[in-house]
Structure 1
């Protein structure tokens, strides 16, 4: 039995010794360039295309948002200008409709105030 064990162990040690001798000569490494398969290449291309497309869409949306913001600012400026004009016109209407101005225009046209012709109307229903 001991002999059989020796024979079984001996070949393994021999292989181990041969490996040590071979490794003493210098190790050679085999370089293998791993190529991409067609499906992997297609996936990478599609991924790059999607990323580029997403970037373009995001940039176009930001540009559109900037343009809309500038339009909003322009419209707000126009509204402010128009509100100023409306205030000026309301002031002018108030001035033109004042009692003193109407009395003055009536005097220029030769009209006189006759209290006998003035009728006072009272509103019924309001308390």
Structure 2
């Protein structure tokens, strides 16, 4: 609420020229001024808007935090999957090596016969 203050200074001298009291006195009068309906509605609307904005900001921050934690989880899953892919690639490279294939062929009783190997040459595209 708004408060208006009035100061009223008493005359320092009387009609006979003497001071009533040394230092003089000041009288303070307070008057309480009421708010109008429109002002009250504006203040209530302002408080409501501030509250809604605060809730919206907090909910957006919470959503951003949740999304950031999901991103972190997905990135860790990606790192784990990339590690597994690297291990499988290494295993495929080992299993497809010439020495291992030659060894498995020997275990199965197969022999290398150079007579069965045919060499194909490309002509004209070099």
Task: Identify the residue that residue 77 of structure 1 maps to in structure 2.
Answer: 76
Return the alpha-carbon distance in structure 2 between the equivalents of residues 120 and 40 of structure 1. Answer: 98
Once the two structures are TM-superposed, the CA of residue 121 in structure 1 deviates from its matched residue by: 2.6
Shift of the 69–48 alpha-carbon distance from structure 1 to 2, 3 Å rule, reads same
Aligned to 1:116: 115
**Number of aligned pairs?**
106
Q: Give the structure with higher Rg (CA).
A: 1
SS at 1:32's partner residue?
A: strand
RMSD of aligned alpha carbons:
1.9
Flag the 1:123–1:44 CA change in 2: closer, same or farther, 3 A: farther
Q: Give the Cα–Cα distance (whole angstroms) in 2 for the partners of residues 27 and 97 of structure 1.
A: 106
What's the TM-score, normalizing by structure 1?
0.75
Moved more, 97-106 or 29-38: 29-38
SS in 2 for 1:111: coil
Q: 1:40 to 1:125 in 2, by over 3 A?
A: farther
The answer to which structure has the higher helix fraction is: 1
What is the TM-score of this pair, normalised by structure 2?
A: 0.76
1:15-71 Cα deviation digits (max 9, x unpaired): xxxx846xx7x7655432111111000000000000011011001100100110010
**Number of the residue aligned with 1:6:** none
**1:21-60 aligned within 5 A:** 29-60=28-59
Deviation at 1:119, TM superposition (A): 1.3
The match for 1:105 is 104
Structure 1: how far apart are the matches of 2:122 and 2:94?
A: 26
Change in Cα spacing, 1:63 to 1:125, as seen in structure 2 (3 Å) is: farther
